[in-house]
Chain A
Amino acid sequence: MEVVANKCQCEALRAKDPRYKKLADIIAKYAGREGALIPVLHEAQEVFGHLPPEIQMLVAEGLDVPLSEIDGVITFYSLFTAEPQGKYKIGVCLGTACYVKGAGDVLDELKERLQIDVNKTSADGLFTLEVTRCVGACGLAPVVSVGDDVYGRLTPDDIPAILEKYIESEKNSNA
C-alpha cells in the first residue's frame, strides 16, 4: 500500500541534528537559481558524507526538482555517492602497469577480505573499496592507496596485514 509522507516524528529528530540546518541553509542559498542542483548536491555531500534517499528527497522538495532527475545526476557523476563512505578510502590502481603486475589479484583479495564489491563500504564502516586509473607510481606497481598512505609492489598476501593495521588503530582510538 502506498504510504503518505509522514514527517512528524522525523522533524523533531532532524531539529536536533545541526546538519539538517546546514542543508536548509545550502538549499536556501541556491534556491531559484539556474543550475542550482549540482552545487547543492556537492555541498550536501560535504555535510552528510553521502547522499542517501532522505537527503535526495529534501533537496527535491527544497529546490522543486524531480527526484528522478536528482537520482540521474547522482548516478551519472562519479563525484556523487548515495552510499555511505568508509573512514578510509582504498584505491586499487588498475592502470596498465599495475594491471600487468597483478593488481587484479590484489583487488580480488581485498574484495574477499572485506566481503564487498567495488564502490561499496565494509560492514564496519571502515573501508570503501574503489579502483583508480594510473596514479603515476608505475615503478611501484601494483599500487594500492589507503587514505593518505600508499603501498607498492604488493601481492595478495600483503593485504591482511595492511588492513589489520587500520583495524587495530581504530580499536586503539576507540579504547
Chain B
Amino acid sequence: MVTLTIDGQKVTVPANSTVLEAAEAAGIHIPTLCYLKDVSQTGSCRVCVVEIGGRLQAACVFPVHEGMVVETTTPLVRESRRVTVELLLSNHPQDCLTCLRNQNCELQRLTHELNIRDVRFQGVRTHVPKDDSSASIVRDPDKCILCRRCINVCSDIQGVDVLAARERGFETVVSPAWQAKLAQTACTNCGQCVLVCPVGALVEKDDTAKVWDKLGDPDIHVVVQTAPAVRVSLGEEFGMEPGTVVTGKMITALRRLGFDAVFDTDFSADLTIVEEANELLERLDEGTLPMITSCSPGWIKFIEHQYPELLDHLTSCKSPQQMFGALAKTYYPEKVGLDPAKIATISIMPCTAKKYEADRPEMRSSGYKDVDVVLTVRELARMIKEAGIDFSNLPEGEYDNPMGISTGAGVIFGATGGVMEAALRTAYEVVTEEALEKLEFLEVRGLEGIKEAEVDLQGTKLKVVVANGLGNARKLLEMIKRGEAEYHFIEIMACPGGCIGGGGQPIPTNADILKARMASIYDVDEAMVLRKSHENPSIKVLYEEFLGKPLGEKSHKLLHTPYVARSRFGALAGTISEPESEKEKVAAAKE
C-alpha cells in the first residue's frame, strides 16, 4: 500500500493503482473520456489530466507512488481539459438534437460538466462518409473522437480485429482495413463496439420505422417475441435500477404499441433445448464431438470466418429467434387460422447480430422471411418513449398462448452458461429417465471467461465447457484444433456475460450492471414452476400437433440450418481477383 495526497486529502491505496483509481477511492471525481474500465486504458484523450509536481499527467494511466502530491482542479488542469474538449468539439458535428446518443453521450456530458459554452476554435473538419452497409451497425466516422475503445474491445476482448486506426494526425480515421465497409469484413456484428462508443460514431441500425409501418397496417397480424435477457435490462432505459425485472410491464407496453400477439423467445429456447439435447445424445453415439451451441449469431459469424474447418462441430439447431420465426409463420397461423403471408414477426433482442441473422438467406424455411424485423432493447425503449407510454407505472401483463409459455430453462439462456445448464437439465432426465434432484449447475454460472464442469449422467461422464466473449471462444477453438479439447459439449456466447451483455443492451453495460442482470435472470428461473424445457406443456403439444418428434423431418426442415464457410478477410478476400504478376502482364499487354 502507498499513501498519497490528492487535493489535500490523504489516500492509501494498493501500490499498483493509478492516480484515477486512487482519486475514486478518495471520492474525488476526475473527468475521463477515452478511459473505460476493463476495456480501454490508453491515456490518449488527455481529459483526465491532473497536476503532479507542476506537470500535467494523465490520471487514468499514471501510477501512484509514496508521498505523491496530486492536484485535480488547478487553473493549469482546468484550462488544459477545457482546451482538449474544445478542440474535440471543433472537429465534431454539433447535431446533438438529432443524434441517436443525445442525452446519453459522454462528450455531451463532459462538455456540460466542464461548463463549456463556447468553442473558441474553428477550422477544417475531417469528413469520411457514413457506413451503413452492415445489417446491424452504422459507423459515422465524423462523430468519432478517436478514443479507440472500439478498437480495443474488437481486438483485445473479442479477438475479431476488424477496426484499427488508419492514416495519422488530422487524417486519422478508425476504420476497417482499406476503408472497407463493415459488411465486407469479418465483423461478427456483436455490437460490443457500439456498447463502448462514448459518442454516436458507432450505433445500431435503427429499424423502428419498419416496425411502426407493420403496426400501422391493419391487414398485418404483428407477432412479437422477446428474448430472455431483455426483461432484466429494459427497465434501465426508463431509469430503473440495473437488473430490475420488467417482464409484465414490457408485455403491457408491447400490447399498447399495437402488437397483436406477444410471445416469448423463452418458448423457442425450450424448443432449442429439446432438439439440441437430442442431437447431443445422437452425437454421443456417433458423430462429431465436441458439439458446440449455435444460439449466438455473433459467435456463428465468428466461427464461419475464423474457423470454417470446425463448422461440423456446431449443432445444426437454429437459434431460438429463428426457430420462433419459422414456427410463427407455419405452426401458429395453422393453429389460429391465419394466412402466413399476412403475419409479420418482430423480435426484441439484446443483440445487434440478430439483425444480420434474420437477414441470412437460410432463414426463410417458412417460405417467407421467418423474422421480419429485429429491434434491440434500445430501439424498443425509443418506441415506447415515442408512443408516450409511462413505462414505470404500467400494469403487469401476461404472454399470449401458445408461444408465450416457457420454463426457467428458457430464461437462463440470457446469461453465459445458461444454455449449457438448460441442456444439462434435459439431457440428464432423457438419458437417466430419472428426475434431476438439484437443478442448479453452479459451475457453469458466473462471469468468468471459461468455465468447465463434469456431469455424471449415471455412468456416462459428460465433460462440458462454457465460454463467453469471442476472445475466450478462440482459446477453446485453438484447443480443439490441437486435439486437446476433451469435451463433449461446448456453449459459446459472443458477448462477455452472454446476452445480458449483448451489443443491443442499454448503454452503459459494465461488469457491475452485468452482475445485477445475471442475478435477476436466475431469480426469474427460480420463481418459475416449470424449470426444465422438456416439461414445457406448449412444447409437448407442439410435437404432438405439428412437429412429430425431436430431430424429425419437420424439425429438420424448420428448426435446423447449415452454415457457410467464409474467409478470415470477409468479402475483402474476393476483391483480390488475380496475383500482382498477372495484373502487370495485363497492363503491359494494353500498352
Chain A residues within 8 Å of B, Cβ to Cβ: 1-5, 10, 13-14, 16-17, 19-20, 48, 52-57, 60-61, 66-72, 75-76, 124-125
Contacts and interface: CB of A to CB of B under 8 A. Distances in A.
Contacts of B155: 66
Contacts of A69: 161, 164
Given A3-B573, A67-B569, A68-B177, A54 B164 contact: no
A5 B177 contact: no
Contacts of B573: 3-5, 57
A67 B587 contact: no
Contacts of A1: 571
B339 to A, nearest CB: 31
A11 B113 CA distance: 59
A19 B571 contact: no
Contact of B177 (A4, A19, A70): A70
B574 A10 contact: no
Interface in B134-186: 155, 161-168, 176-178
Given A66-B155, A68-B164, A70-B177, A3 B574 contact: yes
13 contacts: A2-B564, A2-B570, A2-B571, A3-B567, A3-B573, A5-B567, A5-B574, A17-B580, A53-B178, A66-B162, A67-B569, A75-B168, A76-B166
A56 B580 CA distance: 12
Given A13-B582, A54-B576, A72-B166, A5 B569 contact: yes
B578 A10 contact: yes
A71 B168 CA distance: 12
A83 to B, nearest CB: 12
Contact of A67 (B177, B565, B566): B177
Given A20-B579, A57-B573, A75-B168, 20 more contacts: A2-B564, A2-B567, A13-B578, A13-B581, A16-B581, A17-B579, A48-B580, A52-B580, A53-B572, A53-B575, A54-B576, A57-B572, A57-B576, A66-B162, A66-B164, A68-B163, A68-B164, A71-B166, A76-B167, A76-B168
A61 B576 CA distance: 14
A75 B167 contact: yes
Interface residues of B, number: 33
Contacts of A68: 161-164, 166, 176-177
Contacts of B176: 68
Nearest to A52: B580
Contacts of B308: 4
Most buried by B among A13, A20, A54, A67: A67
Interface in B271-330: 308
Most buried by A among B569, B578, B580, B587: B580
Contacts of B564: 2
Nearest to B575: A53
Contacts of A52: 580
B580 A55 contact: yes
Contacts of B166: 68, 71-72, 75-76
A40 to B, nearest CB: 16
A71 B178 contact: yes
A164 to B, nearest CB: 18
A54 B582 CA distance: 12
Nearest to B168: A76
Nearest to A57: B569
A2 B579 contact: no
A60 B178 CA distance: 14
A13 B569 contact: no
Contacts of B177: 56, 67-68, 70-72
A19 B580 CA distance: 10
B62 to A, nearest CB: 26
Nearest to B179: A71
B579 A66 contact: no
Given A3-B567, A60-B569, A14 B579 contact: yes
B305 to A, nearest CB: 9
Given A5-B567, A19-B581, A67 B168 contact: no
Nearest to B163: A68
A146 to B, nearest CB: 21
Nearest to B173: A75
A45 B587 CA distance: 20
Contact of A14 (B164, B565, B581): B581
A13 B571 contact: no
A3 B575 CA distance: 9
Contacts of A53: 178, 572, 575-576
B164 A72 contact: yes
Contacts of A70: 177
